[in-house]
Amino acid sequence: MLFVVGAARSGTTALQTALNASDDVFLLGEANFFRENLKRGFRARYNARHQVFGFPPSKQNDCPAVAPESGTWVDTVAGLLAQHRLVGETIAFGAFEPDHGIFRRPPTSSHFATRGTRFCHRPRPGAFRS
């Protein structure tokens, strides 16, 4: 498996795009494999999460039907491995966490330590209205 890991806004998506240009590679964008555990229906959940942004389906943001609809992420990866040499996901640390506020790391930080992490409270509703 192949994982592209980095801080948010550090170029992980650009690297994913470059790697996905190869027919040998299929990287899912922020599929959250490790948060998924073995929940059924991975493909539908992944595609719904990425369709919200309104991008047309592509290798970057659409999981093809390579496993049963009730399949887990493991089933999906196995199906993708039948068609591609390297399969994995892009993981960006420091992205928005809806239940915890916003965590940000300096762009040069790529380790798991908490030193240098800043917590920002969510803005109150209507704070940015003109």
Sign of CA dihedral 107, 105, 35, 51: negative
CB atoms within 10 A of CB 6: 19
- Cβ atoms 103, 114 nearer than 8 A: no
Give tens-digit pLDDT for 27-72: 999 898 988 889 999 999 999 998 988 888 888 899 999 999 999 9
Give tens-digit pLDDT for 53-62: 888 888 889 9
Strand stretches in the chain, DSSP E? 2-7, 25-29, 86-93, 96-97, 101-104, 118-120
**Among candidate residues 7, 61, 75, 65, the one with its CA nearest the CA of residue 30:** 61
DSSP state of 23: T
pTM of the model: 0.69
Token pair of 113 as six digits = 């330590």
d(CA 100, CA 113): 18
d(CA 23, CA 25): 6
